[in-house]
Amino acid sequence: MNENKKLVETITARDVDFAQWYTDLCLKAELMDYSDAKGFIIYRPYGYAIWENIQKYLDNRFKETGHENVYMPMVITESLFQKEKDHVDGFAPETAFMTTSSGDEGERLIIRPTSEVLFCQHYAKIVSSYRDLPKKYNQWCSVVRWEKTTRPFLRGKEFLWQEGHTIHQTELEARTETLDMLSIYNQLGKDLLAIPFVTGRKTEKEKFAGAVETYAIEALMHDGKALQSGTSHYFGSGFAEAFDIKYQDKDNLVKHVFQTSWGVSTRLIGAVIMVHGDDEGLVLPPFVAPTQIVIIPIQSQKPEVMAASTELYNSLKQAGFRVKLDDSNRTPGWKFAEYEMKGVPVRIEIGPRDLANGVVTITTRHNRAKALVSKIDVLTSMPSILQNMHDDLYQKALNHVQSNTFTATTYDAFKDQIEKGGYIKMSISGEAAELIIKADVQATARVILDEPLVTELCPVTGEKATQTILFARAY
Amino acid sequence: MNENKKLVETITARDVDFAQWYTDLCLKAELMDYSDAKGFIIYRPYGYAIWENIQKYLDNRFKETGHENVYMPMVITESLFQKEKDHVDGFAPETAFMTTSSGDEGERLIIRPTSEVLFCQHYAKIVSSYRDLPKKYNQWCSVVRWEKTTRPFLRGKEFLWQEGHTIHQTELEARTETLDMLSIYNQLGKDLLAIPFVTGRKTEKEKFAGAVETYAIEALMHDGKALQSGTSHYFGSGFAEAFDIKYQDKDNLVKHVFQTSWGVSTRLIGAVIMVHGDDEGLVLPPFVAPTQIVIIPIQSQKPEVMAASTELYNSLKQAGFRVKLDDSNRTPGWKFAEYEMKGVPVRIEIGPRDLANGVVTITTRHNRAKALVSKIDVLTSMPSILQNMHDDLYQKALNHVQSNTFTATTYDAFKDQIEKGGYIKMSISGEAAELIIKADVQATARVILDEPLVTELCPVTGEKATQTILFARAY
């Protein structure tokens, strides 16, 4: 294999330089490329197809649960943007504007960093009665935030996402929506991405600009850093009051609505790469992989090899698997290394000797296990091969989380551990402790844990501890 | 019905003021709304769902024919944009820019009006061998063009579209791609939109900035004006030379690629409205309609009515129809007018008297035909009800095109007819004639017809006629 490996461009080993490994992989697995405009990336077919699979899963779940898609303008007038104070303060530093040479754009137009205010204004206009509620809208689009440092999929000046915005009659209904959507995101991890998210509420310091409460799904990367992978916000009536979103209730009283918003982005692609990838390249969980199975004919000049390959390809495709037959004139060794690097879950080799025995060789990417499988059994065994692989990957990621979650009873132990990576539970007094921790070791509160206090006093401030927090360094 | 009609906001009649009818309908059928930013619209759920159905149809066809989706940045550096001269000249007047308060964006960033140059630059980077060809990419996104006058769906500062960009080894392959995609667009009209497009090549004057040839699908609206509804361009090697997109061929020679691009936009929603709509509101062809069937219980307080309604709803939904059960506390009359205005293809009324006889009342929107149908036959008869409705609508639109297509042998006859609307065939000498016609009566060449000359001399210039053109006033 070594020689073939060199045919495919080599990737930095994870333990040598994880950041470089990540960037190498993004480029060499052809997930993305850079553009001339700094901080703006090109989503190449292989990367975009991962996003499409995530979209398909979520869009179905959103629609099943009564949400409707809309599309709001990509620009927001400056006066509209400034209506909710916390929100402006949170986003103003990173806004970009749309201008023209003629300068006839009137009021300054902000390119959406997020669309709360557009939804609020629209809802205020179209809602008047309890009969109009709830409104549960979602939008798939790109947003722009003028970030100073950018990394493929993790932080960019433009990224793709979905943003859901809903309004409800009651606080209970809105709070339920907030948690239901968090639960759908969590399920996306379980069903599709094979990522065990930690879910929970954000601290006051870390919550979204304008939210009453923010919940998040957090994932632990291979290098022990956390990645916030999605958020779901409960807004109460704050935006509704600022934007005058009111309705006449059954009791004839005019009331403000209760509101939520929630979103995930192409950041999830980064999570998949950094949770599952290894030194040979990507390892894609089978249900999110653009290509689930690659068939590689060995000695493809032999007619029986190509015939068997094509037949198997057709039957797998027919059955709904995402399958590719590579009959190009590269060597089998080159192809093995290439699809390994691209993380294709299942490789099927079809060669003349195996064929004579009625078998093919199946290799699963995540554990490199090889098995001879009866040609006639390939189709029927494929669902369980993929499911087992998915389960293995999920379990491996869960083990990683469990063996890298620590509890700190002293601040020194916390600081020691944070250098080694992983999640650390610690009970703190409040925001003052968070600020000290961030300044000292650049770790942040990922979520508030619904667990008993670890220590009575906060190891950082010495004051009474009030909540147990899951800390980590994060992307 | 008159009283109920007033409950639903009334719409201007088409013959009174077609433009007002169109705008009324866009707003009142809740397809879109205006935003604070002039020229930027909100795609509301009912309008966006039409676009989603178009997307689903086309995305499947694109993928079946070997295309892959990507996502390019929404900005283009000014120097990149200026590489192909014709292209710049065509788009420069209507470009918008992205800027920041800090001014740290470096080179000026143009917000994409179309993405040819981004695809070209990327292709130049990733293609080196004949093995890399063809590349057939597509992108779903929004683009920005700083239009002075805007109309919902027809012309906006931002609109949603898909843009396909492909590169090929040979001219033949690229020309075939150009026509294949035109054919898919034409088929979209036949299968989904019930619109008989006229397809053909654009004149030199009307072709896309930078194209060798532009082909279009044109639709005739109810008011006799044409709407260019999609285009497919053959670029030759012009962009490839400007952007240096080269590959080493099997014969070891380094060659430039041949290129295409093609796109349709949310303008198609405007076409559907203006081809099929009537004075009561929208008439949506069943295969593109967000809701195909609405069930309206009559005396819904009676348990047997709601039970039968729910049962029918479930069986239709189960069978894959897009069905809605309206059990709100509005009157049946209000609901009839509302769904008529929204153009829902099939209405099923379920009332106690009909139920006692084992029947329900089915009304088809396009012809207002009512029929009593056995409750047990509803499910099995629905496919043919929808198909017949689709065929009726297509045929009606085709009749409209045929009875509004004229041939002019004199310029006076041409000018008389153009005031009345419709397509007019005339044989002209060339661009000089097009310019005169446009100046005189604001009509433009829609497509070049593959038909014999109507007259030997051009009725406009008196010079020798060279081609027969289909003219119309257009949106």
Is the CB of A101 less than 8 angstroms away from the CB of B100? no
Mutation target to probe the B interface, by most B beta carbons within 10 A, among A28, A31, A40 is A40
Instruction: Give the pLDDT confidence score for residue B8 in this predicted structure.
Output: 56
Which tens digits make up the pLDDT trace of B354-368?
999 999 999 999 999
- Please give the helix or strand (H or E) that residue A157 lies within, else none: none
Residue A423 reports pLDDT greater than 90: yes
- The CA distances from residue B231 to B51, B59, B94, B145, in Å, are 17, 16, 19, 17
Instruction: Give the pLDDT confidence score for residue A430 in this predicted structure.
Output: 97
Instruction: Say yes or no: B328 contacts chain A, CB-CB below 8 A.
Output: yes
Instruction: Give the pLDDT confidence score for residue A2 in this predicted structure.
Output: 45
Instruction: Say yes or no: A149 contacts chain B, CB-CB below 8 A.
Output: no
How far is C-alpha A87 from the chain's CA centre? 23
- Please give the helix or strand (H or E) that residue A325 lies within, else none: strand A323-325
| Phi and psi angles of residue A469, each rounded to the nearest 5 degrees, phi first | -120, 145
Is the CB of B98 less than 8 angstroms away from the CB of A144? yes
* DSSP 3-state of A168: strand
ipTM of this predicted complex? 0.96
pLDDT category at B9 given cuts 50, 70, 90 is low
Is the CB of A158 less than 8 angstroms away from the CB of B38? no
Contact B422, B452 (CB under 8 A): no
List the domains of chain A with CATH numbers: 15-276 (3.30.930.10), 293-385 (3.40.50.800), 406-472 (3.30.110.30)
Nearest CA in chain B to A30: B126
Which tens digits make up the pLDDT trace of B126-150?
999 999 999 999 999 999 999 989 9
pLDDT category at B169 given cuts 50, 70, 90 is very high
SS (H, E, C) chain B: CHHHHHHCCCCCCCCCCHHHHHHHHHHHCCCEEECCCCCCEEECHHHHHHHHHHHHHHHHHHHHCCCEECECCCEEEHHHHCCCHHHHHHHHHHCEEEEECCCCCCCCEEECCCCHHHHHHHHHHHCCEHHHCCEEEEEEEEEECCCCCCECCCECCEEEEEEEEEEECCHHHHHHHHHHHHHHHHHHHHHHHCCCCEEEECCCCCCCCCCCEEEEEEEECCCCCEEEEEEEEEEECHHHHHHCCEEECCCCCEEECEEEEEEEECHHHHHHHHHHCECCECCCCCCCCCCCEEEEECCCCCHHHHHHHHHHHHHHHHCCCCEEECCCCCCHHHHHHHHHHCCCCEEEEECHHHHHCCEEEEEECCCCEEEEEEHHHHHHHHHHHHHHHHHHHHHHHHHHHHHCEEECCCHHHHHHHHHHCCEEEEEECCHHHHHHHHHHHCCEEEEEECCCCCCCECCCCCCECCEEEEEECEC
Which tens digits make up the pLDDT trace of A303-338?
999 999 999 999 999 999 999 999 998 999 999 999
Instruction: Say yes or no: B128 contacts chain A, CB-CB below 8 A.
Output: no
Nearest CA in chain A to B159: A73
Q: Give dist(CA B292, CA B143) in Å, integer.
A: 30
Instruction: Say yes or no: A41 contacts chain B, CB-CB below 8 A.
Output: yes
Instruction: Say yes or no: A150 contacts chain B, CB-CB below 8 A.
Output: no
Mutation target to probe the B interface, by most B beta carbons within 10 A, among A9, A33, A42, A291 is A42
Mean pLDDT, residues B268-289:
98
Instruction: Say yes or no: B40 contacts chain A, CB-CB below 8 A.
Output: yes
Q: Which residues contact A335 (CB under 8 A, 6 or more apart)?
A: A294, A296, A326, A328
Instruction: Say yes or no: A105 contacts chain B, CB-CB below 8 A.
Output: yes
Contacts of A59 in chain B (CB under 8 A): none
Residue B3 reports pLDDT greater than 80: no
Instruction: Say yes or no: A158 contacts chain B, CB-CB below 8 A.
Output: yes
Which tens digits make up the pLDDT trace of A67-98?
999 999 999 999 999 988 877 888 877 899 99
Token representation of residue A432: 């003052």
Residue A1 reports pLDDT greater than 60: no
Instruction: Give the pLDDT confidence score for residue A9 in this predicted structure.
Output: 63
pLDDT category at B2 given cuts 50, 70, 90 is very low
Kindly provide the b/e burial profile for residues B11-24, where b requires at least 16 CB atoms within 10 angstroms of the residue's own CB: bbebeeebeebbbb
Mean pLDDT, residues B11-33:
96
Mean pLDDT value across chain A = 95
Mutation target to probe the A interface, by most A beta carbons within 10 A, among B51, B71, B149, B165 is B71
Is the CB of B101 less than 8 angstroms away from the CB of A97? yes
Is the CB of A73 less than 8 angstroms away from the CB of B35? yes
Which tens digits make up the pLDDT trace of B84-116?
887 788 887 789 999 998 877 789 999 999 999
Mean pLDDT value across chain B = 95
Residue A436 reports pLDDT greater than 60: yes
Token representation of residue B462: 């008196």
Residue A142 reports pLDDT greater than 70: yes
Contacts of B69 in chain A (CB under 8 A): 45, 48-49, 52
Residue A8 reports pLDDT greater than 60: no
Instruction: Say yes or no: B32 contacts chain A, CB-CB below 8 A.
Output: no
Instruction: Say yes or no: B111 contacts chain A, CB-CB below 8 A.
Output: yes
Q: Give dist(CA A310, CA A312) in Å, integer.
A: 5
CB pairs under 8 A between A and B: 145
- The CA distances from residue B47 to A73, A162, A427, B23, B265, in Å, are 14, 18, 50, 13, 13
Contacts of A95 in chain B (CB under 8 A): 100-101
Contacts of B111 in chain A (CB under 8 A): 98
Minimum-distance CB partner of B131 among A41, A158, A328: A328
Percent of chain A clearing pLDDT 90 (strictly above): 92
* DSSP 3-state of A293: strand
- Apex A94 CA angle, A91 and A97, nearest 5: 100
- Ranges of H-type helices in A360-430: 378-403, 411-420
Task: Output DSSP code: residue A462.
Answer: -
Contacts of A105 in chain B (CB under 8 A): 96
The whole-angstrom distance between B117's CA and the closest CA on chain A is: 11
Contacts of A106 in chain B (CB under 8 A): 38
> Which residues partner with A135 through β-bridges?
A167
- Tell me which residues of chain A, numbers 83 to 102, contact chain B at a CB-CB cutoff of 8 Å: 95-102
Instruction: Give the pLDDT confidence score for residue B101 in this predicted structure.
Output: 81
Q: Are strands A405-407 and A423-428 parallel, antiparallel or unpaired?
A: parallel
Mean pLDDT, residues B161-171:
98
Residue B1 reports pLDDT greater than 60: no
